[in-house]
Amino acid sequence: MSGWTRSSATGSGSTTRDIVRPEDFPAAAERLARWVARYRAELRDRPVAPATKPGEVRAGMPAHAPEHPESIEAIEADLDRLVVPHLLHWQHPRFFGYFPALSDLSSVLGDLVSGGLGVQGMLWSASPACTEIETHLMDWCVDLLDLPDAFRSTGAGGGVIQDTASSAALCALVAARERVTQGRSNASGLRSPACPPLACYASTQAHSSIEKAVRIAGLGSLSMRRIPTDETMAMQAHALARAMRRDQEDGIRPCFVVATVGTTSSLAMDDLLSTAKLCKQFGAWLHVDAALAGCAAICPEHRGIHAGLEGADSYCTNPHKWLGVNFDCDLFYVRDRAALVGALGIDPEFLKNAATASGEVIDYRDWQVPLGRRFRALKLWFLLRLTGAEALRERVRRSCAMSAAWAERARQHPDLEVLEPQRLGLVCLRHRGGDEETEGLLRRVNASGIAFLTHTRIPWAQTGSPDPRFTLRVAIGNPETTAEDLDRLWELLVAAA
Ligand SMILES: Cc1ncc(COP(=O)(O)O)c(C=O)c1O
């Protein structure tokens, strides 16, 4: 291994300069690249989840920050001692918890370049390539996912990379708030007589980030309407219509509706067509949250999940979940970028410049909450170029096929029940004996260290009872997961059942 030592860095002059000089960087980076490669290669043999006690990691750290340079060897040793043993290994092939958060090394290379360039793309003029590559990639992704043309930057809409789906929902809501109140909440405050009370709607199965956005945007939790779901856990259109009508009659303005394509608990799919129709009728903004499931639209055979998306005002999906772009990368689209920029735009003197004044450029500071932004498009660009769309389609197809096969196996077991319909890369199941038995399964699987699962609590229409049941979620998405990995999970469950 080519070595990088502190002495090679400290020999180069002033201590006020970055201690890793450009001439030192390749050796240091190579050393750490090897470390990451070894971590990934050895992952399969590690326990998936740590047995860390609260405070254990901090207890292994010095009380104070170092006054003098340490060696990279010392840092690497701490990665082995303090970090790796105390991680839940999200890239482990037998990590089946939450949703995948895949981190392909091809995208990690893009992030390395982003850090190395160290540009800050708040304005087009602050680094034109940072903005234009992002805009171009967002248009590429309209094609890749076959999204409505209205989201293309060449028309009135456009896309931006947000950190997360949570931020996308917040930005969409603020744009909705300003559109519905015609800017009056911005001008005179949400609680002024000029601004009517506003209401937001999402199903009981929508992600918690929606209610959080409602709180942050100043509407408050009481303006959030949780709409009941049907037997497939999709939002009931007639219940949504009733809630909007009731609000309207009470002088409350229906403002923002979130339809979910692939809920977190069970990948339930709200009906976009009927929701869009209602939004049009009541003048509300429709945001579609397709955080995980939207990635499946890279495959033509899954594009039915987006039926009705033409009626949406905004949409988001997370390539950082299923497509391998390392966290964070959320694709956020709007059909009317003027509404978003009108809500989030700022123009202080110190940011004024000729390009902005010309009106010919996009300044992404006006499309997001923070001012500053890093060059996130690079990791998506690297992933798409080094991998190619066809391999990403294969990845989605493979995890759907593995999930379907695994669900079929579980259906054959007398003590296990699979939530129907099983969708995409997620299998939800429970022990027929009840919640306690199902919880016991989760505990035993996770205690084994061999695999990792998480749970939810949802009603199971097929049990004939509306009561939420403790439910195991098996999320299969990692391309490193093999049939043998799934056999091991199966053996664990059967032994525990
Ligand atoms: C449907 C849905 N929406 C939103 C989120 C939140 O995603 P993020 O972490 O990107 O905010 C998730 C996370 O799993 C999700 O499943």
Domain at 181, CATH number: 3.40.640.10
429 Cβ below 6 A of ligand 1: no
pTM of the predicted model over 0.85? yes
Q: Is 205 close to ligand 1, i.e. is its CB under 6 Å away? A: no
**Residue 185 sits in the same domain as residue 42:** no
Judge contact between 23 and 47, C-beta under 8 A: no
* 172 and 311 housed in the same domain: yes
H/E stretch holding 386: helix 377-387
Which three-class secondary structure state does DSSP give residue 484? helix
Residue 466 counted as domain residue:
yes
**213 CA to middle of ligand 1, Å?**
12
Ligand 1 binding pocket includes 209 (Cβ within 6 Å): yes
> Per-residue confidence at 8, pLDDT binned at 50, 70, 90?
very low
Over residues 5-34, the mean pLDDT reads: 76
266 lines ligand 1 (CB under 6 A): no
Task: Give residue for tokens 């293309």.
Answer: 152
How many A from CA of 291 to the centre of ligand 1? 5
Q: Which two tokens stand for residue 32?
A: 């750490």
pLDDT of residue 185: 74
Closest CA to 159 of 268, 271, 317: 317
Average pLDDT estimate for 161-177: 97
Distance 401 CA to ligand 1 centre (A): 23
Q: How far apart are CA 403 and CA 397, in angstroms?
A: 10
Same domain, yes or no, for 382 and 424? no
Mean local confidence (pLDDT), 178-199? 78
220 or 362, which is more confident: 362
Helix (H, G, I), strand (E, B) or coil at 480: coil
Asked whether residue 1 is assigned to any structural domain, the reply reads no
The reply to whether 107 falls in a domain is no
Asked if 116 and 263 sit in the same domain, the reply is: yes
Site to substitute for ligand 1 among 171, 207, 320, most atoms within 8 A of C-beta: 207
Give me the torsion for CA of 175, 177, 182, 184, rounded to 10°. Answer: -120
Mean pLDDT (the chain) is: 94
Please compute, for residue 114, the number of CA atoms within 13 A of its CA located in the half-sphere on the CB side: 23
**pLDDT at position 20:** 87
Which 8-state DSSP code applies to residue 82?
Answer: I
Query: What DSSP string describes 295-349?
Result: GGGGSGGGGGGGTTGGG-SEEEE-HHHHT-PPS--EEEEES-HHHHHHHH----G
Evaluate whether residue 94 is within a structural domain. no
Q: Which residues contact 389 (CB under 8 A, 6 or more apart)?
A: 144, 298
Residue 9: pLDDT band (50, 70, 90) is very low
Residue 93: pLDDT band (50, 70, 90) is very high
**The pLDDT of residue 14:** 55
Residues 123, 67 within the same domain: no
Instruction: Examine residue 439 and state whether it is found in any structural domain, yes or no.
Output: yes
Residue 369 and residue 405 share a domain: no
pLDDT tens, position by position, 221-271: 999 999 999 999 999 999 999 999 999 999 999 999 999 999 999 999 999
| CB distance 260 to ligand 1 below 6 Å | yes
Alpha carbons 168 and 292: distance in angstroms, whole number: 14
Residue 306 has a pLDDT of 98
| CA–centroid distance, residue 176 to ligand 1 (Å) | 20
Boundary residue ending a domain (333, 363, 387): 387
Q: Which H or E run contains 171?
A: helix 165-180
225 and 155 both lie in a single domain: yes
220, 282: one domain: yes
Q: Which of 6-10, 110-114, 128-132, 388-392 has the lowest mean pLDDT?
A: 6-10
Kindly report the CATH number assigned to the domain that includes residue 488: 3.90.1150.10
Q: Are residues 409 and 440 in the same domain?
A: yes
pLDDT (average), residues 23-43: 95
User: Do 318 and 448 fall into the same domain?
Assistant: no
For the chain, the maximum distance between any two Cα atoms, rounded to a whole number of angstroms, is 75
Asked, for residue 106, whether it belongs to a domain, the answer is: no
In 3D space, the residue among 446, 450, 407 whose CA is nearest the CA of residue 429 turns out to be: 407
**Residue of the nearest CA to atom 14 in ligand 1?**
264
How far is it, in rounded angstroms, from Cα 232 to Cα 262?
Answer: 11
Look at residue 16 in the predicted model and tell me its pLDDT: 74
pLDDT at position 7:
47
Q: 42 CB contacts (<8 Å, ≥6 apart)?
A: none
Total structural domains within the chain: 3
Residue 477, pLDDT above cutoff 90: yes
Kindly give the distance from the C-alpha atom of residue 340 to the centroid of ligand 1, in angstroms, as a whole number.
Answer: 21
Tokens found for residue 345 = 């735009």
- Given 387, 406, 436, which residue is the final one in a domain? 387
Residue with the smallest CA separation from ligand 1 atom 16 is 264
The percent of residues in the chain predicted with pLDDT above 70, rounded, is 95
Query: Which residues fall within 8 angstroms of residue 361, CB to CB, at 6 or more apart?
Result: 124, 125, 128, 131, 355
Residue 478 belongs to what domain range?
395-496
* Residue finishing a domain among 387, 420, 450: 387
Q: Stretch 50-67: mean pLDDT, rounded?
A: 96
Report if residue 105 sits inside a domain: no
- Answer whether 207 contacts ligand 1 (Cβ < 6 A): yes
Residue 141 to residue 136: CA distance in whole angstroms: 9
Strand partners, 417: 430
Q: What CATH number is given to the structural domain containing 58?
A: 1.20.1340.10
Sequence-ordered list of residues with C-beta below 8 angstroms from that of 295, at least 6 positions apart, any chain: 145, 317, 318, 319, 321, 322, 323, 396
Measured from the CB, is residue 162 less than 6 Å from ligand 1? no
d(CA 302, CA 441): 32
Query: For residues 387, 390, 396 and 398, what is the CA-based torsion angle, rounded to 10 degrees?
Result: -100
Pairing label, strands 198-203, 285-289: unpaired
Give the CA distances from residue 265 to residues 17, 228, 372, 409, in Å, rounded to whole numbers and listed in that order. 50, 15, 33, 21
Confidence of residue 189 (pLDDT cuts 50, 70, 90): low
Q: Which amino acid is at 11?
A: G
Ligand 1 near 166 CB (within 6 A)? yes
Our answer on whether the CB atom of 287 is closer than 6 Å to any ligand 1 atom is no
Q: Is the CB of 329 under 6 A from ligand 1?
A: no
Are 276 and 310 in a shared domain? yes
Q: 206 alpha carbon to ligand 1 midpoint, in Å? A: 9
Same domain for 238 and 128: yes
101 found inside a domain: no
Distance from C-alpha of 355 to C-alpha of 237, rounded to nearest angstrom: 45
Q: Return the C-alpha torsion angle 123, 127, 128, 132, nearest 10.
A: -80
pLDDT score, position 136: 98
Q: How far is the CA of 417 from the centre of ligand 1 (A)?
A: 26
Q: Examine residue 421 and say whether the peptide bond preceding it is cis (omega within 30 degrees of 0).
A: yes
